[in-house]
Amino acid sequence: MGLLAFLKTQFVLHLLVGFVFVVSGLVINFVQLCTLALWPVSKQLYRRLNCRLAYSLWSQLVMLLEWWSCTECTLFTDQATVERFGKEHAVIILNHNFEIDFLCGWTMCERFGVLGSSKVLAKKELLYVPLIGWTWYFLEIVFCKRKWEEDRDTVIEGLKRLSDYPEYMWFLLYCEGTRFTETKHRVSMEVAAAKGLPVLKYHLLPRTKGFTTAVKCLRGTVAAVYDVTLNFRGNKNPSLLGILYGKKYEADMCVRRFPLEEIPLDEKEAAQWLHKLYQEKDALQEMYNQKGVFPGEQFKPARRPWTLLNFLSWATILLSPLFSFVLGVFASGSPLLILTFLGFVGAASFGVRRLIGVTEIEKGSSYGNQEFKKKE
């Protein structure tokens, strides 16, 4: 193991990276709060500023993927599709099998200039997660309780509000509703059999309401749907902790572009279109497991330096006073000050670990198991 690889495994460095992310995030959230005063004056200026503030936070996570772990992301698609990336509003459909699938999506957003303006249909619980939920609130992210009767009006209103968004956005939908697990898959396929729908091997049964509503509300704004099927070489199952420890992964993403005009206007027909799409995604995963590649030309968009420069800027601003403070604490010789500081370090490490825990599969929501509980 080289020196750099060894350093990447050290808890102290992880704590420093977490410190920079958390403190910079709190600063960014405060500035975002101040920008609310701009909304009545210029809504579009408010949005543009918040896109850049969000970029300054999210790009730190992308930096970990691109520069810290040096994970490679390869696109399997065609030249015409690549040429449209970052030049149109789009709905993204991504399979939800991995802890870092969102991060792979973000790195593509960053490389095509839409990271700060990226959107997602997110579960409402995330709204209350510090940094993540707070930043999303200022970005006008659409939150839902995943109970359609309660969500309908909120989701429709939130989507329609994005119709005049000033910067190109990619709106992410996890149509499966929750991350894939064997238990959820078994329950999901029982539901599929009861409804007479085809069985899926690698995905959960897609929930169509969010998709059909998003397509309906964003017609005239969104130009296309990008279907993205993600997998990792070597049958790897990466984690955010693995990224933090500097583990390198190789992500492959099959991207297919569907002009919005090809998606039926009728809600039932649009739902059938989505079910057919997931059958195709299942076939793509089967092909990948057999051949180790997706169909299509391979593209490796170059990583850009801005994520690294952004993190180094924040680290320079925040770590210099931190080091001075730590030296002052230990130079004081006061047991009380030293113990208080160590207690703060412990609390900070616990907080960072909890933030990482949001992405872990085993700590995912119980959504998708409800049918199973009823049967029991």
Please give the span between the terminal C-alpha atoms of the chain, in angstroms, as a whole number.
50
Q: Which residues of 249-269 are buried (b: 16+ CB within 10 A; e: fewer)?
A: bebbbbbbbbebeebeeeeee
Provide the pLDDT for residue 148: 77
pTM of the entire predicted model: 0.89
CA dist 291 and 285 (Å) reads: 10
Provide the pLDDT for residue 371: 47
Provide the pLDDT for residue 356: 61
Provide the pLDDT for residue 1: 63
Where are the extended beta strands (E) located within the chain? Answer: 72-77, 90-94, 119-123, 142-144, 170-173, 224-232, 250-259, 297-299
β-sheet bridge partners, residue 232: 251
Provide the pLDDT for residue 358: 55
CA dist 276 and 168 (Å) reads: 28
Chain centre to alpha carbon of residue 144: 16
Q: What are the start-end ranges of the H helices in 98-207?
A: 101-111, 132-138, 148-161, 182-194
Q: What SS3 state is found at 251?
A: strand
Cα–Cα distances in angstroms (integers) from residue 6 to residues 2, 3, 12, 247, in the given order: 6, 5, 12, 11
Digit-by-digit pLDDT tens for the chain (376 residues) are: 688 888 898 888 888 998 899 999 999 999 999 999 999 999 999 999 999 999 999 999 999 999 999 999 999 999 999 999 999 999 999 999 999 999 999 999 999 999 999 999 888 888 888 898 999 999 999 998 877 788 888 899 999 999 999 999 999 999 998 899 999 999 999 999 999 998 999 999 999 999 999 999 999 999 999 999 999 999 899 998 899 999 999 999 999 999 999 999 999 999 999 999 999 999 999 999 999 999 999 999 999 999 999 999 999 999 998 888 888 877 887 888 788 877 777 776 666 666 665 555 455 555 555 544 444 3
Task: Please tell me what DSSP assigns to residue 367.
Answer: T
